């Protein structure tokens, strides 16, 4: 399933100037339309007692294509009444994009400066036929994964649904501007633990998958979680996306070393996922393992992983992710030979296994490397 786990290769950094930030002088206190549902938006855009659903659909069509309906010039094709009501009730998006960096292989990372000066990063990953957006759900993260730069920076706050959706809006714009393949896939694998912000994430997913809004198919959106607790895992039953579990180690002691905030046994978390998957028509689960040399890459680790995952319904897909450097004093990326042995063992046990090749590592855009300076 290449739309969920794109194959990645290392590449170099190119810093790009950006003209997309909104200067403080032009910011407004008016709300943005990003977090409003279609019917809510139709009511606001009406200049009579009747909601204007057509206006709402046309505005969302423009937004879903990354069009700036306030300063977009000729690319704005909204009718005069729709444009008038939009500009009357909603202000320009109030976020700055101070930095964009693009690697030689096309991976593009952009930094969003939020209204309170907090910052988050999102990454566009192009392949031959499609582009994938890796977006963030929090400023920082309180899960403290020892191999992850976001975990090491700590937790600042949750993102609102419109701050999550802003990443999709800008991603659609930049995918076109930088002539990437069409943006077709979204992964909640950036900064933050989505289930620690589940209410805002649910709203964002509703807008992302609504056919009259961002219009991504639910099969092209995936959400990755460490599975903080069985109760939080159970909240995933009705999420309109594919589910991924960041396992990293099946052994309880090793898992707690890699994810220090782990409070439940891996069997408890596994059983919670099993319950959710059964209620989702025996849907298969994606599993992620960051491969760290001499830490979790032995055949015994692979065997423990098999034993943990075997009871799950469906055909579990395992994605092996070579560790990306975050200046940890002892962690090193597993060798290609170790990863190949680990992979082959899992395949022999009947699992579907892929290896994610690193992409964007030199500009700290790769998995586990997203982090900003807390304000």
Q: Please check whether residue 367 is in contact with residue 359, taking contact to mean a CB–CB distance below 8 angstroms.
A: no
Q: Tokens representing 46?
A: 């009406």
Count of CB atoms situated within 10 Å of the CB of 260: 12
Q: What gap in Å lies between CA 259 and CA 270, rounded to an integer?
A: 16
SS3 content of the chain, % helix, strand, coil (to 5): 35, 20, 45
Structure tokens at 289: 């393992």
User: Are 289 and 296 a contacting pair, CB within 8 Å?
Assistant: yes
75, 93, 146, 150, 327 from 71: Cα distances, Å: 10, 11, 43, 34, 42
Sign (positive or negative) of CA dihedral 90, 192, 237, 261: negative
Query: How many CB atoms within 10 Å of residue 19?
Result: 6
Query: What are the distances in angstroms from CA 41 to CA 53, 82, 85, 90, 105?
Result: 8, 11, 11, 10, 39
Residues whose CB is less than 8 angstroms from the CB of residue 321 and which lie 6 or more positions away in sequence, other chains included: 288, 289, 290, 291, 356, 367, 368
Q: Where are the alpha helices (DSSP H) in 210-283?
A: 230-234, 252-258, 266-279
Rounded-to-integer distance, Cα 76 and Cα 72, Å: 6
Instruction: Give, in order, the Cα–Cα distances in Å from 49 to each of 30, 45, 276.
Output: 22, 11, 43
Residues forming the active site: 121, 367
């Amino acid at each position: 399933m290449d739309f969920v786990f794109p194959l990645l290769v290392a590449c170099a950094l190119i810093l790009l100037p950006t003209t997309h930030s909104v200067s403080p002088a032009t910011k407004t206190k008016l709300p943005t339309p990003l977090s409003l549902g279609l019917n809510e938006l139709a009511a606001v855009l009406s200049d009579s007692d009747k909601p204007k659903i057509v206006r709402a659909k046309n505005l969302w069509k423009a937004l879903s294509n990354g069009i700036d309906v306030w300063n977009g010039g000729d690319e704005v094709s909204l009718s005069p009444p729709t444009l008038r009501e939009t500009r009357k009730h909603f202000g320009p998006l109030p976020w700055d994009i101070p930095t964009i960096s693009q690697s030689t292989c096309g991976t593009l990372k952009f930094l969003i400066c939020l209204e309170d000066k907090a910052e988050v990063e999102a990454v566009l990953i192009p392949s031959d036929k499609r582009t994938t957006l890796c977006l963030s759900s929090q400023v920082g993260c309180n899960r403290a994964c020892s191999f992850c730069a976001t975990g090491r920076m700590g937790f600042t706050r949750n993102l609102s649904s419109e701050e999550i959706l802003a990443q999709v809006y800008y991603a659609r714009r930049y995918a076109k501007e930088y002539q990437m393949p069409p943006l077709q896939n979204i992964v909640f694998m950036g900064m933050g633990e989505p289930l620690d912000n589940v209410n805002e994430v649910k709203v964002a997913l509703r807008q992302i998958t609504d056919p009259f809004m961002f219009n991504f198919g639910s099969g092209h959106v995936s959400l990755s979680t460490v599975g903080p607790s069985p109760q939080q895992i159970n909240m995933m039953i009705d999420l309109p996306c594919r589910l991924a579990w960041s396992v990293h180690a099946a052994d309880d002691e090793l898992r707690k070393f890699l994810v220090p905030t782990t409070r439940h046994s891996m069997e408890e978390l596994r059983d919670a996922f099993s319950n959710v998957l059964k209620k989702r028509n025996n849907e298969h689960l994606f599993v992620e393992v960051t491969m760290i040399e001499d830490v979790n890459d032995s055949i015994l680790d692979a065997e423990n992983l098999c034993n943990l995952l075997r009871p799950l319904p469906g055909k579990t897909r395992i994605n092996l992710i070579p560790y990306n450097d975050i200046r940890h004093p002892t962690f090193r990326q597993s060798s290609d030979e170790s990863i190949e042995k680990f992979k082959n063992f899992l395949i022999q046990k009947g699992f579907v296994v892929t290896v994610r090749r690193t992409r964007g590592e030199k500009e700290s855009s790769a998995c586990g490397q997203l982090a900003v300076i807390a304000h």
